[in-house]
Amino acid sequence: MSASPFVSPDDIRAAFSHAMSAMYRAEVPLYGDLVEIVEGVNAEVLRADPGLEANLERRGETARLSAERHGAIRVGTAAELAILRRAFAVMGMAPVGYYDLSLAGVPVHSTAFRPTDEAALRRNPFRVFTSLLRIELIEDAALRETAQAVLEGRDIVSPEARALLARWEAEGGLTADEADRFVAALLETFRWHGDALVDGTTYARLHDAHRLVADVVSFRGPHINHLTPRTLDIDAAQAEMVRRGMAAKAVIEGPPPRAVPILLRQTSFTALDEPVRFAGTGGGTHTARFGEIEQRGVALTRKGRALYDRLLDEARGASGSQGADYAERLARAFQAFPDSEDALREQGLAYFRYRASPNGTVVAEPITYEDFLPVSAAGIFQSNLGGTEQHSYAGEAAQRVFEEALGCPVLDPFALYDAIEQASVEALAGAVA
């Protein structure tokens, strides 16, 4: 049988991730500094802990670590969300999870496009956290109509990207030349364009409604607003950011430092003021794009996530405020969360992959969390929108509406981790049968 003439989705995703990283490094030089910090911290962590390096190597995580990135974009309409779902499918990425950030005062709801099976994740775990503007949350009816008209008048995907996407859907794949052209064409969707679609007065009105509304509506497309490398020690990375004079967040989002990291911790530097040219009215500045670092831990089961959410609420208090003593409150609250792999496994709080060691004993290895946390995402967004901006929106999740816009249901992340764990159990049973 002859080999397929088509490039694998994993290879297209890896090429796109590399191209996105190179583009963002050119657009936001401080991102290059973040990558340098992460590479230095990771190298030091691995030098200091040969056992960790061996574990990561055995689990196939060492190779993916240096390439690992997640990006974030924001779109304005159902049509824009739907065509990006189709484009990400070319790269083997599916929508996983639903996040309603409007509950935290950010007028969007979101999903994460990512690979879902273990082999694809090992090849390249590129993710894109993709948010759809909830335009109905713009209270001013006239401004809402203006925003809708601007969004309906733009096309975020180039004709070449559309043609190659249609070819992939019709033929079931892309040749090497077509894949290269697709990556280059789709990359333009996420490029920064300093020429606004609106005049300065309209921009100011959108900005007053919410800074994120101005970011989504005012430009040609969903420019990448951050790209995030993965570190093995986010506290060390944060300290190095401060040492270098970066305007880093005061608080790392997510759980406190632990012997066994869980879920996701994130930090960032403040969004940059970038020059823009408004339509017919001269220049100004726009603040939206920033740099972020993440540290990933073990994925939690539904039981573990319920405990995490309860303890996080306890630490944040009734007001949801972080405040000057937040780190202390967070650490105190999370003393109730077991901090050893054995305890997490025995109490059913985290997901593990099982395998037989060379001497026949069963080894349990933590399954890496591949997704996001809505409170942390909202915290990052708010801190990079000035830190003081607060809005109160009606707290009604709209997952059904989001999925209608998307064109398919989002996948349940818990089901994906369940499947990985169960497959390892079945493989182990088959090996010892």
pLDDT computed for residue 187 by the predictor:
97
The CATH number of residue 267's host domain is 3.10.180.80
Could you tell me the pLDDT band of residue 395, with boundaries at 50, 70 and 90? very low
Q: Is position 323 within any domain?
A: no
pLDDT top residue among 376 and 219 = 219
Residue listed under structure tokens 């159990």: 425
Mean pLDDT of 191-218: 93
pLDDT computed for residue 372 by the predictor:
94
- Spell out the SS3 assignment of 208-226: HHCHHHHHHHCCCCCCCCE
In this predicted structure, the answer to whether residue 64 has a pLDDT above a threshold of 50 is: yes
pLDDT computed for residue 1 by the predictor:
45
- Of the ranges 5-14, 286-295, 352-361, 389-398, the best mean pLDDT one: 5-14
Structure-block tokens of residue 329: 């409150």
Q: Is position 84 within any domain?
A: yes
CA atoms of 130 and 377, how far apart (whole Å): 11
Q: Is position 213 within any domain?
A: yes
Could you tell me the pLDDT band of residue 378, with boundaries at 50, 70 and 90? low
Count of the separate structural domains present in the chain: 1
Helices (H), 250-301: none
Q: Is position 307 within any domain?
A: no
Number of H helices, E strands in the chain: 18, 11
Instruction: Return the ∠ at Cα 424 (arms to 370 and 54), rounded to 5°.
Output: 65
What integer best gives the mean pLDDT of the chain? 89
- Of the ranges 58-62, 243-247, 385-389, 406-410, the best mean pLDDT one: 406-410
In this predicted structure, the answer to whether residue 149 has a pLDDT above a threshold of 50 is: yes
Q: 3-state class of 111 per DSSP?
A: strand
Could you tell me the pLDDT band of residue 53, with boundaries at 50, 70 and 90? confident
Could you tell me the pLDDT band of residue 173, with boundaries at 50, 70 and 90? very high
Could you tell me the pLDDT band of residue 261, with boundaries at 50, 70 and 90? very high
pLDDT computed for residue 389 by the predictor:
44
**Domain limits for position 181:** 9-297+369-406
Calculate what percentage of the chain has a pLDDT beyond 90.
65
CA atoms of 107 and 124, how far apart (whole Å): 31
SS3 content of the chain, % helix, strand, coil (to 5): 50, 20, 35
Mean pLDDT of 348-376: 90
CA atoms of 347 and 344, how far apart (whole Å): 5
Q: Is position 71 within any domain?
A: yes
The structure's pTM equals 0.91
pLDDT computed for residue 387 by the predictor:
47
Mean pLDDT of 311-319: 80
Mean pLDDT of 297-312: 95
Count other C-beta atoms under 10 Å from residue 83's C-beta.
Answer: 20
Could you tell me the pLDDT band of residue 390, with boundaries at 50, 70 and 90? very low
Among 121-125, 201-205, 261-265, 323-327, where is mean pLDDT lowest?
323-327
pLDDT computed for residue 382 by the predictor:
54
Helix (H) or strand (E) holding 36: helix 29-48
Q: Is position 419 within any domain?
A: no
In this predicted structure, the answer to whether residue 56 has a pLDDT above a threshold of 60 is: yes
Name the residue among 232, 191, 236 with its Cα closest to residue 68. Answer: 232
Mean pLDDT of 339-363: 93
